[in-house]
Amino acid sequence: MERSVPSAHDRTAASHGATVVTTRDIQSGVLIAFEGIDGSGKSTQARRLCSALQERGLSTLLLHEPGDSEYGDRIRQLFEHGRNVSPEEEMRLFLEDRRIDVRDNILPALESGSVVVMDRYYFSSMAYQGALGLDPELIREKNEEFAPRPDLTLILDVIPDTGVTRIRARRDVPDSFERVDYLLQVREIFLTFCSDDVVRVDASGDLDTVQEEIQELVGKLLSTRGLLLGAR
């Protein structure tokens, strides 16, 4: 398999003037993030993408946030017992959980040349904790101090009614992270992120159609990095 060696110093300046770490600074892997509201199909689509990449001989690592650190455990407890902490404390827990994930999993995998696929990443903090009143750009800044910016972020977009209907179909009642009025705000914030490397994908269609569009977008990215996602 042909693998391109990225240029050593391809730093991009963030809009706020700080230096952002991109995957090209530090390693030869590729970082792809799936984002979107609950019930948008992220986990299924991320799994299917990883299988497709593996079938084509690429080494992949799929990671889900919140992760399995002590902070991730605390977050899961919060889901179960109601969100009885401040938005700042929620943000802190997600940030610390991510810091460990970046150090222990994301950076080593990128350094070894893998395609790392995130099922949620720091854009979720910007949107979910942003919808609780925190400044999304401040959340971005805190994260980009240590978390590499993805080469491609896919925002799987559905309206909250669709997301909540899907959640009800696989479980009983949505939790406090999944209320329609809250998700309306979360979705609105997610959509403000769209840019060259943050792409909205209409996720209201069937799984195969959405996966096709995802593979097309990822294929374009990989070919620019010398990693072709064509037929074997």
Binding site for ligand TYD (CB under 6 A): 38, 65-66, 94, 120, 124-125, 128-129, 177-178
d(CA 121, CA 102): 10
Nearer to ligand TYD, 124 or 211 (CB): 124
d(CA 91, CA 136): 11
CB of 140 to ligand TYD, least distance (A): 12
CB of 94 to ligand TYD, least distance (A): 4
Give 108's contacts (C-beta < 8 A, 6+ positions apart). Answer: none
Give 11's contacts (C-beta < 8 A, 6+ positions apart). Answer: 19, 20, 21, 22, 25
Q: What is the CA radius of gyration of the chain?
A: 17
Least Cα distance to 122 among 96, 140, 138, 108 occurs for: 140
Which contiguous run of DSSP H or E holds residue 50? helix 42-55
Nearer to ligand TYD, 129 or 211 (CB): 129
Nearer to ligand TYD, 56 or 166 (CB): 166
CB of 6 to ligand TYD, least distance (A): 27
Which contiguous run of DSSP H or E holds residue 31? strand 30-35
CB of 187 to ligand TYD, least distance (A): 12
Instruction: Please give the torsion angle defined by the CA atoms of residues 168, 169, 171 and 176, in that order, rounded to the nearest 10 degrees.
Output: -20
CB of 227 to ligand TYD, least distance (A): 27
Q: Are 214 and 49 in contact (CB under 8 A)?
A: yes
CB of 133 to ligand TYD, least distance (A): 13
Angle between helices 160-170 and 180-192 (to 10 degrees): 120
Nearer to ligand TYD, 116 or 227 (CB): 116
CB of 22 to ligand TYD, least distance (A): 20
Strand partners, 217: none
Least Cα distance to 111 among 103, 123, 119 occurs for: 103
